[in-house]
Homo-oligomer: A and B are copies of this chain.
Amino acid sequence: MTDATDTSENVFTVEHRVPTAEREARNGHRGGVLWFTGLSGAGKSTLAFSLDEALFADGYHTFVLDGDNMRRGINADLGFSPAHRSENIRRVGEVAALFAASGTICISAFISPYRAHRAQARAAAGDHFHEIYVRAALETCERRDPKRLYERARAGEIANFTGIDDPYEAPDAPELVVDTDRLSVEESVRKVRAYVHREFRLT
């Protein structure tokens, strides 16, 4: 038993955070952010969840951030105004960076149409950031239209819809491009998985 003075001394102890490198060594792979960007309907979520399953089966520590778990939770206070969309992406970038620091491969699946927002997410995660452009022609996405969003945007029911009346700023130098116009989901997963093996494996 120590007395309060000893305890007090301990409060002054420099706090030691387990370094990310040690967590990565334990996991056998680097942590990082796989930042999917692309039009609605390009296949970001489908690819994110299929990749997550594949990487988990490979032994990676992974986690997906998407509209479902972000918009219902930490971003439940945000709407879809330009300021709120910006704040939505900012927070996703910061949460993804925390997961990367914990040694996890964090897959984020958001349209994230503006270069400036993606640059901010990259700045949050630093070297851990990998921008993956999930690319499909607007016509393809509009033909797929799984959630009938393009239909509603064309009908004027949704304003500022990316690709219709709001710009999508394509990445200048993404770490990887996945063309879902011509690649199946399986082929797309294979491509990103090979990239992850190359870039993240430590063993």
Contacts and interface: CB of A to CB of B under 8 A. Distances in A.
Interface of A: 1-2, 4, 6-8, 10-13, 15-18, 22-23, 26, 41, 43, 45-46, 48-49, 52-53, 56, 61-65, 69, 73-74, 77, 87, 90-91, 94-95, 97-99, 101-104, 124, 140, 143-144, 146, 180-185, 187
Contacts of A1: 182, 184, 187
B61 A11 contact: no
Secondary structure at the A interface, as helix, strand, loop or mixed, is helix
A63 B98 contact: yes
Given A16-B53, A26-B56, A91-B91, 16 more contacts: A1-B184, A1-B187, A2-B184, A2-B187, A7-B185, A8-B143, A11-B43, A11-B46, A15-B46, A23-B61, A73-B94, A73-B124, A74-B74, A74-B94, A74-B98, A104-B104
Oligomer copy total: 2
Nearest to A57: B18
A163 to B, nearest CB: 15
A13 B185 contact: yes
Contacts of A144: 7-8, 11
B102 A104 contact: yes
A17 B64 contact: yes
Given A10-B43, A74-B94, A95-B95, A18 B56 contact: yes
Contact of A10 (B46, B90, B98): B46
